[in-house]
Amino acid sequence: MIYQWLVFAHILGIFGFLIAHGAVAAVTFALPRQREVERVRVLLDLSRSVSVVANVSLLVLLAAGVAAGFMGKWWGQGWIWTSLALFVLMSVSMSFLGSRPLDPVRQLVYGGKPSRSGASGQISPDPSAEKQLAALLAATHPWLLTVIGGGGMVLILWLMMFKPF
């Protein structure tokens, strides 16, 4: 009975994680089309605001998954280790390809010092700053992130459902 609750908590954590990342994905797709600094700030603030839900959900899914792995005696099988390795690889690559390109955007639109409220700093309205913003936003990779995240989640789901090894 406890095992079923752990699996339930694990799947609930996955739902929360995916919902939060759905908002981040929408922001990632919307950003390259933006040219107004205030709209970019609003989108970046939205992305940052869902990080609490994503992080709590991540802790729930990992803690429940690890506990369920012990209760189900799965740690001796390759599928669970492969799933965990894929998840870590996805997290690192998506952080590198998704978060890092947005750091210079945040610095530019928040005047070099991003704040949680997004209220600090103003970007000057000169055309060179707008061109710099456009170039930075064009350097984001929403489709690559979608393929990595979506493809990785499909592989992990397949491993969890079919436990092939």
Domain segments of the chain: what residues? 2-162
pTM of structure = 0.82
User: Positive or negative, the Cα torsion across 29, 106, 53, 139?
Assistant: positive
In this predicted structure, what is the pLDDT of residue 45?
96
> What would the two tokens of residue 165 be?
């090894």
The model's pLDDT over 38-49, given as tens digits with 9 standing for 90+, comes to 999 999 999 999
107 contacts: CB under 8 Å, gap ≥ 6? 113, 114
**Structure token digits, residue 47:** 């992305």
Task: Give 124-162 pLDDT, tens digit per residue.
Answer: 556 677 889 999 999 899 999 999 999 999 999 999 999
Q: Tokens 């994905």, residue?
A: 25
What confidence tier does 113 reach under pLDDT thresholds 50, 70, 90? low
